[in-house]
Amino acid sequence: MYGSKGLTPVWVVAEGAAAEPTLEALGEAVELARPGAPGVVAVGPAETRDVLVPLARHGAGRLVLLRTPSAVSPAEVGCAVAAWLAGHDASAPIVLLPHTRHGLGVAAELTVRLDAALAPGAVGVRRAAGGAIEITRPAYGERLYATVEVSGGTPAVVTLRPSALGVGPPVAAPAATVEEWPATIEGAPPAARVRRAMAPDPHTVDLRDAERIVAGGRGVGSEGFRQLEVLADLLGASLGGSRVAVDLGWIPWERQIGQSGRAVAPELYLAFGISGASQHVAGIERARTVVAVNRDPSAPLLGRAQLAVVADWRPVVEALIERLRERRG
């Protein structure tokens, strides 16, 4: 058995070239596996080993590459990992993955093949008494957090939300050795065939998946959100806001952006009348381009923005609406 004596082994399924979601999952696995160390497994062609080598500096104790001739689907990754674990681990493993579209596809196949408990969208995992693990994940429409316990000796597959845990700094580590094994993907379901890709409706798409977001805060007032909605429609963007805007009932709670709401990663984030408390700024860390408009030159969000405008929000929004309507005409 790999891992500490008396503890079930902990594994992370790597996704991407040392991508942040994989590193976050590995950080949680390191804590879960103490006093041992977790293993990391990746599935793909020979060059995939480059994904694994840097992970030794983030606490991985064993690195495994399951080789395939070419890139494979999430279901095939799950099939290969399940087959390898069944042949090389004497006890039920705990498997952590990023909560991404790819990770969920892998997790579904793993869960079925390992006859495991599944906890998707978790924000934390820890050891409990008697060898059990406790998994924290949002519940009741993400208004509360629930703790789910999986008894010791039960295989568990857990997907962890990106940006919920953070990534620790790398440390010095011995030169990494990557074990290579042939992948077993027989019996995996065929890859889905994409017939047509349909753009999501900006009005209903989860803000975490939105490519463009127009957001407002206390500074725009309740009536101001009507104008922001017009601007969002013209941009094909989703409407969001600060915690204050939610607390005052100006927008629904699922439109809240920040640590206590949604952590977003849009290509474009337009913020009007939002001062930028630390919890809000943390929620837009992965936004590519931030445009902030605020009358207060000391508003923290202006320092985060690529384009900061010190002005009243209303004439700026009106000018943008007029220009966008002209372009559409």
Strands (E) in the chain, as ranges, are 10-13, 39-44, 62-67, 94-98, 117-122, 124-127, 133-139, 144-150, 156-160, 178-182, 212-216, 238-241, 268-272, 289-294, 307-310
Q: How many CB atoms lie within 10 A of CB 99?
A: 22
Q: For the chain, give percent helix, strand, coil, nearest 5.
A: 35, 25, 40
CATH of domain 10-182: 3.40.50.620
CA dihedral 266, 272, 273, 277 (to 10 degrees): 10
Q: How far apart are CA 137 and CA 159, in angstroms?
A: 10
- What are the domain boundaries of the chain? 10-182, 207-328
Contact 24, 3 (CB under 8 A): no
Fold annotation for 207-328: Rossmann fold (3.40.50)
One-letter amino acid at 265 equals A
Give Cα 298 distance to the centre of its chain.
31
Query: Looking at residue 175, what is its pLDDT?
Result: 75
Query: Looking at residue 18, what is its pLDDT?
Result: 56
First to last CA, the chain: 67
Query: Looking at residue 141, what is its pLDDT?
Result: 67
Three-class secondary structure of residue 40 per DSSP: strand
Query: Looking at residue 246, what is its pLDDT?
Result: 94
Sheet containing 307-310: which strands, arranged edge to edge? Answer: 238-241, 212-216, 268-272, 289-294, 307-310
Nearest alpha-carbon partner for 124 in 12, 32, 258, 257 = 32
Q: How far apart are CA 294 and CA 313, in angstroms?
A: 6
pTM of the complete model beyond 0.85: no
Identical fold, 10-182 and 207-328: yes
Cis before residue 69, ω within 30 degrees of 0?
Answer: no
Three-class secondary structure of residue 30 per DSSP: helix
Q: Look at strands 178-182 and 62-67 and give their pairing.
A: parallel
What pLDDT tens digit does each residue of the chain (329 aa) get?
344 445 679 999 998 755 888 999 999 999 999 888 999 999 999 888 888 888 988 999 999 999 999 888 999 999 999 999 988 865 789 999 999 989 999 999 999 999 999 999 999 999 988 889 999 998 876 678 899 999 988 999 999 998 777 787 778 777 778 999 999 988 888 877 888 888 889 999 999 899 999 999 999 999 999 999 999 999 999 999 999 999 999 999 999 999 888 999 999 999 999 999 999 999 999 999 999 999 999 999 999 999 999 999 999 999 999 999 999 87
Give Cα 302 distance to the centre of its chain.
26
Q: How far apart are CA 180 and CA 188, in angstroms?
A: 21
